Structures are given as structure tokens and as C-alpha cells.
């Protein structure tokens, strides 16, 4: 698989990474065997970047990845690992954002233990604690680099203005944001700022949470998935309209002889050399299908046709519910 640089350290990673949220039960029941099968398939396809987080299954995603490393000797050296911290869960299950140095240090050390590694390539602040200056948090992360626990630092779901402040304190390796044909918000400043400071833009949900695949979730299925059951794009009448619109995209992909997922990935990779999509999946077949997007060089007329089918702002409904918007920074 083609490679891209992660951040400014010239660490080479596959142009497609693997989203570790699917290794928890976020999108449906999964297990260790299934996770390990996906990880082996990723290596076979040349995918060497894993993105995970403590909050994905309350450590289960990291734990399953760590178990894979233990079971498959030498495999940990084949993957470039990123994980995240900054979201604290209380005894009552309620979450709050905690970017204090003491909490982040504890969270990072626990993540390293679950993963069974001494260091990860990249450590993100999963959600900003807005009361705490981002300059202070960036300094904390830079200290972890100096201690040898991480190689690069990153932030998830922050505004370009926050990214600009952080970049003046320490080099930012990556910025993570939702980015796809159904969510083009980063084009309003985040993509430009990441290019300016030479940070990688790691795109989660690059397949529009199934809307850009051959089999988008119907309403009944979406209601069984915690992340989608309140998501405006998966509530009626929005969902039916969104599926109808993307049916034309699916037809285009079929005419091209590829899956809709592969076409969506190819489009995203075309948007910039610093972009790395991290789709999540529980199916080795789906992973193999979408990975074909790395091989596709879209022509100018094909890009125009895609934009005609799915112009900016085509999706019905916001990308998050009111509750889901607690944490991500809005801009523009």
C-alpha cells in the first residue's frame, strides 16, 4: 500500500489507517477473535497504522490490540500506533474532559500497559477541557515526548484557531477530525491550517458512518447502534433522503467496477497528501474492499461527477446530535 508521512518526524505510515473504535462494541458486538482477524488482514493489505483510545470500550480496544501483539510475536513492531486520552469516566458512568497533567500521565501509562508497549508514535487529546489553556496542555504532551513515552502529539476535534495556538508551543504531528464526502467541515479552515503547519489530518468516519458504503444502515439497524440512534442523519425523514441521494453515488461506483467505500476513500485521499483516513470495520471483506481506494487515481472528470452527485452540504441532518456536540469545537 502507498505510504504517507505522519506529522513532521517523517514516520511512514500506510495511506489508510485502521480505526480502533470498531474493536469495542460501539457499532455492534465484537470479540477478540474478530479483532485479531482484522489486524492480521490489515497487515496483509499493507495497513500499518492503528488508531485507538481508552474510551473505546473503556480500554477494551487497546486491550484487544495488546493481546494480538502478545499472541503474534513481532507484530507490535509492524504497526504505528496512536491512542488518545483526556476523557475521564466517573463511577456513575458520566464523562468529563480532564486535560490535567496528572490525569493525562496516568491515562497514557494505563494505555501503554494495555497495549503492551513502552511507547506509542502518537498521543492525542481526545477532547479539550476548554477551561484549561491549550498552550498548557500542549506543554504537557511535549513533556511526554521528552520522557520517551510518545513520539508525536495530536488533538482531536479542535478548531483551526486552537490548532494555531498549540502549534506555536510544540510541533503538532496530527489533527483528527471527521472528514468525508458527507462531512466537509474541515475544508473551512482545518485542512488549510494542518497543511500550513505540516500536520497530518487523520480523517475518522471517512465512509459517512455507512452512508458512503454499498450497504448503508437502515433505520432499524441504526437504532441498535448507540452512536447512531440519536444522530440526526440517521433519523427519519433525513435517513431516507440521505440513502436516496447516495444511491446515485453507489451506482457510479458500480459502473466503475469498485465498491462505494473504495470510491469514497479514493476521493478523500485526493483531497491532500497529508490526509490519512482511518475507517473502522468488523469485516475482513469490507476492509479488503475499501482498501482498494488506495490504488485508485481519480481523473478530473470523475472528481467533477462525484461533486455533482454529492455537492458540499448535500447531507440531511447535522453530523452530531445536541449531546454529541458536547466536546468538539465548532468554528466558522
328 part of a folded domain:
no
- What is the SS3 assignment for 200? strand
> pLDDT for 261-314, tens place per residue?
999 999 999 999 999 999 999 899 999 999 999 999 999 999 999 999 999 999
CA separation for the pair 2, 280 (Å, rounded): 19
Domain membership of residue 280 as a residue range: 3-209+259-297
Residue 310 lies in a domain: no
In this prediction, residue 257 carries a pLDDT of 97
Q: How far apart are CA 243 and CA 110, in angstroms?
A: 41
Q: List pLDDT tens digits, range 207-247.
A: 999 999 999 999 999 999 989 999 999 999 999 999 999 99
Question: Is 56 one of the annotated active-site residues of the chain?
Answer: yes
pLDDT tens, position by position, 10-65: 899 999 999 999 898 777 777 888 899 999 999 999 999 999 999 998 999 999 99
Does a structural domain hold residue 247? no
**Residue 83 confidence (pLDDT) above 90:** yes
**Is residue 327 assigned to a domain?**
no
Report whether pLDDT(92) > 80: no
Least trusted range by pLDDT, from 20-24, 107-111, 122-126, 143-147: 20-24
Q: Classify residue 155: in a domain, yes or no.
A: yes
Q: Which residues pair with 104 in a beta bridge?
A: none
Rg (CA), the chain: 19
End-to-end CA separation in angstroms for the chain: 36
pLDDT bracket for residue 202 (50, 70, 90)? very high
Higher pLDDT, 107 or 95: 107
CATH number, domain of 50, equals 3.20.20.100
Catalytic residue among 27, 56, 123, 179: 56
275-277/200-204 β-pairing: parallel
DSSP state of 235: S
Rounded to 5 degrees, what angle do the CA atoms 97, 100, 103 make? 85
268 by DSSP, 3-state: which?
A: helix
Cα separations in angstroms, 176 against 169, 217, 252: 18, 24, 29
Residue 170 covered by a domain: yes
Tally of domains within the chain: 1
Q: What is residue 127's predicted lDDT score, i.e. its pLDDT?
A: 97
User: Helix or strand or coil: residue 180?
Assistant: strand
- Residue 162 and residue 132 in contact, taking contact as beta carbons nearer than 8 Å: no
Of 247, 233, 238, 240, the closest CA to residue 309 belongs to 247
pLDDT at 31: 81
CA distance 236 to 160: 33
pLDDT at 93 over 80: no
Dihedrals phi, psi of 38, to nearest 5 degrees = -65, -45
Q: What is the mean pLDDT of the chain?
A: 96
Alpha-carbon dihedral 136, 140, 142, 146, rounded to 10 degrees: 150
Give ∠ CA 235-240-242 in degrees, rounded to 5.
90
pLDDT at 266: 98
Q: Is residue 332 part of a domain?
A: no
pTM of this prediction? 0.96
**How far is the CA of 85 from the CAs of 110, 156, 259, in angstroms?**
10, 10, 34
Q: How far apart are CA 288 and CA 7, in angstroms?
A: 26
Asked if residue 107 belongs to a domain, the reply is: yes
pLDDT given at position 24: 85
Phi, psi values for residue 23, rounded to 5°: -85, -5
Q: Supply the pLDDT for residue 223.
A: 96
Q: From CA 16, how far away is CA 327, in angstroms rounded? A: 26
DSSP 183: B
d(CA 79, CA 233): 34
C-alpha cell belonging to residue 216: 448503508
* Residue 332: predicted pLDDT: 83
Amino acid at each position: 500500500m502507498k505510504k504517507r508521512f505522519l506529522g513532521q518526524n517523517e514516520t511512514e505510515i500506510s495511506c489508510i489507517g485502521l480505526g480502533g473504535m470498531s474493536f469495542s462494541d460501539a457499532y455492534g458486538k465484537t470479540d477478540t477473535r474478530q479483532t485479531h482477524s482484522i489486524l492480521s488482514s490489515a497487515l496483509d493489505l499493507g495497513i500499518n497504522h492503528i488508531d485507538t483510545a481508552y474510551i473505546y470500550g473503556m480500554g477494551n480496544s487497546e486491550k484487544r490490540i495488546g493481546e494480538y501483539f502478545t499472541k503474534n510475536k513481532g507484530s507490535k513492531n509492524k504497526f504505528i500506533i496512536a491512542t488518545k486520552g483526556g476523557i475521564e469516566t466517573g463511577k456513575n458512568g458520566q464523562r468529563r474532559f480532564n486535560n490535567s497533567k496528572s490525569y493525562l500521565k496516568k491515562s497514557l501509562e494505563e494505555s501503554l500497559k494495555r497495549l503492551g508497549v513502552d511507547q506509542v508514535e502518537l498521543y492525542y487529546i481526545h477532547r479539550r477541557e476548554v477551561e484549561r489553556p491549550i498552550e498548557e496542555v500542549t506543554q504537557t504532551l511535549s513533556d511526554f515526548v521528552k520522557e520517551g513515552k510518545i513520539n508525536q502529539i495530536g488533538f482531536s476535534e479542535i478548531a483551526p484557531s486552537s490548532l494555531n495556538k498549540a502549534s506555536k508551543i510544540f510541533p503538532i504531528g496530527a489533527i483528527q477530525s471527521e472528514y468525508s464526502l458527507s462531512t466537509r467541515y474541515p475544508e473551512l479552515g482545518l485542512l488549510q491550517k494542518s497543511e500550513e503547519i505540516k500536520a497530518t489530518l487523520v480523517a475518522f468516519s471517512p465512509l459517512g458512518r455507512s452512508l458512503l458504503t454499498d450497504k448503508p444502515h437502515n433505520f432499524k439497524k441504526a437504532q441498535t447502534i448507540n452512536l447512531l440512534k440519536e444522530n440526526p442523519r440517521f433519523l427519519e425523514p433525513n435517513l431516507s433522503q440521505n440513502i436516496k441521494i447516495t444511491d446515485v453515488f453507489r451506482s457510479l461506483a458500480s459502473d466503475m467496477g469498485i465498491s462505494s467505500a473504495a470510491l469514497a476513500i479514493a476521493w478523500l485521499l485526493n483531497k491532500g497528501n497529508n490526509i490519512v483516513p482511518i475507517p473502522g470495520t468488523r469485516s475482513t471483506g469490507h476492509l479488503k474492499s475499501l482498501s482498494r481506494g488506495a490504488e485508485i487515481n481519480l481523473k478530473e472528470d470523475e472528481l467533477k461527477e462525484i461533486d455533482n452527485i454529492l455537492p458540499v452540504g448535500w447531507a440531511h441532518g447535522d453530523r452530531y446530535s445536541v449531546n454529541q456536540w458536547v466536546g468538539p469545537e465548532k468554528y466558522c
